[in-house]
Structure 1
């Protein structure tokens, strides 16, 4: 009998500070590991402010302290751990930091095949952000690391095109992120109906666009408020609060980061979810909102064109007037219409983004990449 395939998910920031990776990577590890021919391991770096969070990232997790600047994620204990684990296959989650270098060195020394899942870090907006740092990292290790990958994983066709636009010729596995559908709690009726933003509070997410549109609309919709939730990155929340005061927006609440049941309650109690983003490789928060029967507005910088085809939201150009007009149209709809849109959204997530389906697809990709199975249909040359 063949031993289970030992797959290593190699990443950094084993904590909620990793954003969407803190949901997608643990979900992947926990969903694939029960399959009889799979054995999933996670190796990453510890968040000095929340080291205990690492243990929830998978059935077998090793986390290591970062030495030096946090931006580089240099963890000297990581390379020996990879060597001791002797994985059959490595899937690197995220790029531009030390885990990529450690994996490249391990692959060159042992010949271990590996995949790279960039997690949105190759989209045009991300490449321009801190471009000089990425240029240095690219020259030192990341260009070689990407080119040497047996395949790249994209979570949507839009992200796969970003790979090709960069000149990468590796095979690409297009597999979306998955979601375990939560049970639905009763909705809580508040004094005001709510528009929710929930994600990292970062300039990339375009929250300032939402606030400016709300400044034009708040007088028309006195029964609504905006709720802004998420982890503050680099003090951006203070900038948004200052903008809120400048625009005289009394019905905007900043509620901080939320996880677990508290996060689910925010989605569930919202009447509308808005992600006015500049760039997303997938946008897991969109799927999470739909899973709670909350309709969505997001931009065409996120790969969610199906919102309109499935009748559960709006997919719009990243333009101020377009967002304002779309919000006005959405808030003018009867509550029953928005509720029906939300129900259609949950049905779509259950049909196309269930974690069990994603686990099966990634199992096929891993078996193929390790030479134990045929090439899956989701892999494109």
Structure 2
């Protein structure tokens, strides 16, 4: 991985819990990453997998860590798993696999989806030409999180074997009571949690929320935007709220008070779990996702979800655990209004269906077992695992 800290967003939890699950199945796992502002603090979270950091040179966005390849060589792995694309870690992992004659499995995490390819398109075309396309073509296996990602992989002309293995999530113990922060008092919380980035659809979300606010349709609800800023998008969101005459509160600056829109800043670990537990529902109006960990976390906490089809979790709609909303603000308003108009009992029932869906399909034990079978096949050959499409 480029970053093995919280800076990686959902990939941090996805990569960490998969590594730990493989350790539990008897595999020796070492994680290689490039140093960033939080990597020293977060290294221990990978245990029992060993984490190894390499210093970046030049622009951190390129992830150029020249000692990374040597680290891979000294570990002498049987198989390397590359998490994510577009940075130097791809070139280092692909180069090691080619020189060592060992298999490599690439996990794109939605980075080959059409919207993702169009974002910073010229840079990605350049990286594809320089090394990434050859890297992808030479991979022993690619991992798709869902059928939609498989289609995106094939649309690029890649004919490699592809294993379809979703992300997983831990099921927290149900709690009888949740910790309510001062700004939550007397209000129901619709939560967004994740990166503050244009692809997450937060601008149309604020437009939809403002429409409901002006129409008097919020009825004691607050929209909580929890996450870390990327590229100044948080200030853009606040400016849009001002333009829409939508009152907002930043609890990092003013922890008390009330407003229909609240910015909480980043939440990790126990703080994140408490925020899920104290919320009534979750929303992710994303334009593009691989398979979002935040939706699985919301379901694991028994919360109903409003999401777009781009979240690539159609199982949630089929199970009655989620309400579909389209990307346009007017359609998003309809989806959110449907959630707010539901009774408390109906929302609890939706959340229970989501939790059951996680239990049936998205636990880390199940995910790690599938990946373990893929590793055995890549290293030793034999029967092709059921999850692999050739």
What TM-score bracket applies, with the shorter chain setting the length?
A: over 0.9
Q: Which moved more, 1:319-328 or 1:281-290?
A: 319-328
Alignment CA distance shift 1:332-1:188 (3 Å): farther
Distance across 2 between alignment mates of 1:316 and 1:159: 20
Per-residue CA deviations over 1:298-336 (Å, capped at 9, x if unaligned) read: 101111112221111112332222111111111011111
- Say whether the 8 Å CA contact 2:225–2:264 is kept in structure 1: yes
Per-residue CA deviations over 1:54-110 (Å, capped at 9, x if unaligned) read: 332342110111111011100112111001011100110001111111122212222
The one of 203, 209, 222 equivalent to 2:198 is: 203
Match of 1:60 in 2: 50
- Say whether the 8 Å CA contact 1:289–1:296 is kept in structure 2: yes
How many Å apart are 1:284 and its aligned residue? 1.0
- Say whether the 8 Å CA contact 1:178–1:358 is kept in structure 2: yes
Match of 2:222 in 1: 225
The one of 69, 72, 77 equivalent to 2:62 is: 72
Distance across 1 between alignment mates of 2:164 and 2:332: 29
Distance across 2 between alignment mates of 1:145 and 1:121: 14
Q: SS in structure 2 opposite 1:370? A: helix
Q: SS in structure 2 opposite 1:39? A: coil
The one of 231, 234, 238 equivalent to 1:234 is: 231
Residues 281-360 of structure 1 correspond to what in structure 2 (within 5 A)? 281-360=290-369
The answer as to 2:99 corresponding to 1:102 is no
Distance across 1 between alignment mates of 2:139 and 2:56: 25
Distance across 2 between alignment mates of 1:236 and 1:50: 23
How many Å apart are 1:210 and its aligned residue? 0.9
Distance across 1 between alignment mates of 2:312 and 2:17: 20
Match of 1:5 in 2: none
Q: SS in structure 1 opposite 2:29? A: strand
The answer as to 2:34 corresponding to 1:39 is no
The answer as to 2:19 corresponding to 1:29 is yes
Distance across 1 between alignment mates of 2:374 and 2:96: 21
Distance across 2 between alignment mates of 1:292 and 1:63: 33
The one of 213, 216, 229 equivalent to 2:211 is: 216
Distance across 1 between alignment mates of 2:93 and 2:335: 45
- Say whether the 8 Å CA contact 2:35–2:56 is kept in structure 1: yes
The one of 346, 371, 376 equivalent to 1:367 is: 376
How many Å apart are 1:184 and its aligned residue? 2.5
What is the aligned-residue RMSD (CA, Å)?
A: 1.3
Moved over 4 A (4+): none
Q: SS in structure 2 opposite 1:227? A: strand
Match of 2:168 in 1: 178
TM-score normalized with structure 2 length: 0.92
- Say whether the 8 Å CA contact 2:34–2:56 is kept in structure 1: yes
The answer as to 2:244 corresponding to 1:247 is yes
Residues 106-145 of structure 1 correspond to what in structure 2 (within 5 A)? 106-145=96-135
How many Å apart are 1:41 and its aligned residue? 1.2
